[in-house]
Amino acid sequence: MAALTRSPRAGARPPVPGEGVAIASLWRELWDAHENWGGYPGTRDPAVYAQLARRLDDEARARAGRPVLGGHLHLVASLGHEPCGQVEAWLEQTGPGPGDTRTCEVRSLIVADRARRLGVGRVLLDAIQETVRSHFRGAPCAMAAEVLEPNPAHGFYARVGFTPVAWSAQLDAADVAGTCAGPRGFSARCATPDDALAIAHLEAILAARRRASGDLRFGAPPRIDVVLLGTIASGVAEDVASALGDHATLVVTDRAGIVRGSASVQVQTLEPPFLPLRRGLVGRFSFDPAGSVPALAAPLIELGARFAASRGAARIEFLDLTAPRTALYDAVLAVGARPWSRVVTRPA
């Protein structure tokens, strides 16, 4: 009788010093795949990956066998001795109270071609879940991952219990000139400290929308008090003082000057191993429930895109959108943006 054989079982563990080169090669494989799907380009410079390998080894020494270093979680999977997969995650907690949200943002999950279809990805996610439960002492936590729309891993995430809760779309800065302000009667501008109360009410509406969509990453609507108003006014004042800064809060007003919607915009430069490309992030859309979403969204979309483009952003992402074929999502696609990614979550 022929001997029965079994596929090797992967194990997950923290990285150890000396594995930096192997893990960096997995990162290179991930960046190449993302670029093929239309993602941000990665460097081809071997020196950058050599530096990354040294940093990974330094971090492994600092971890001393522990999966969590600060708020950063890093695990590798191996079949035998050499890593065949890896995953990172960032752990956050909004406060010490039982009602505060705890999140685990999963990033850079990659399985080498030679280890595909052997359950490595599931092993890594299960190991993250076990680590998160221990780190937060069993308190509820949401695991979340952003998945590009062309990424074939959508089916994998669905099989392991993740569900989509938010979507995004992307626009090339060269196409910003084609955006339009939408119906007359509404206009967008950068917020001022005097808008703090209106923004606070809109933040509460946003929190309720996220809760209704099943997004476990965010807490209940905030209590509107002098502390919250002071925090919002202070942040807006900083934006106003830095007229050439890379972030701002935006509001849309009606003919009477009443604030009916808000959003945020920031511009950042990608770090290695990505090429140093500038991208704009426009999100936190919230609207007066009595208003028309398309009419209120259009001026915010236009101003956010123009703000980002004026600060050197080559691409602009519209984040935290409602599902495809809803008013907000369609309003973003109407200016020429294309579907970019979705955020999927599951309880830890």
Q: Please report, for residues 207, 264, 329, the alpha-carbon distance to residue 169 in angstroms, rounded to integers and kept in the order given.
A: 21, 15, 8
pLDDT, residue 2, reads 43
**Residues 115, 322: Cα–Cα separation, whole Å:** 35
Quick: pLDDT tens for 238-277. Answer: 988 887 789 999 999 999 999 999 999 999 999 988 999 9
For the chain, where do the domains classified as CATH 3.40.630.30 start and end?
A: 11-161, 168-347
**Residues 97, 282: Cα–Cα separation, whole Å:** 30
Q: Does domain 168-347 have CATH number 3.40.630.30?
A: yes
Please enumerate in sequence order all residues whose Cβ is within 8 A of that of 185, keeping only pairs 6 or more positions apart, or say none. Answer: 254, 255, 295
The CATH code of the domain at 11-161 is: 3.40.630.30
Structure tokens at 38: 């239309």
Quick: pLDDT tens for 141-171. Answer: 999 999 999 999 999 999 999 999 999 999 9
pLDDT, residue 340, reads 97
pLDDT, residue 5, reads 44
Residue numbers of the chain with a pLDDT score lower than 70: 1-8, 95-99, 177-184
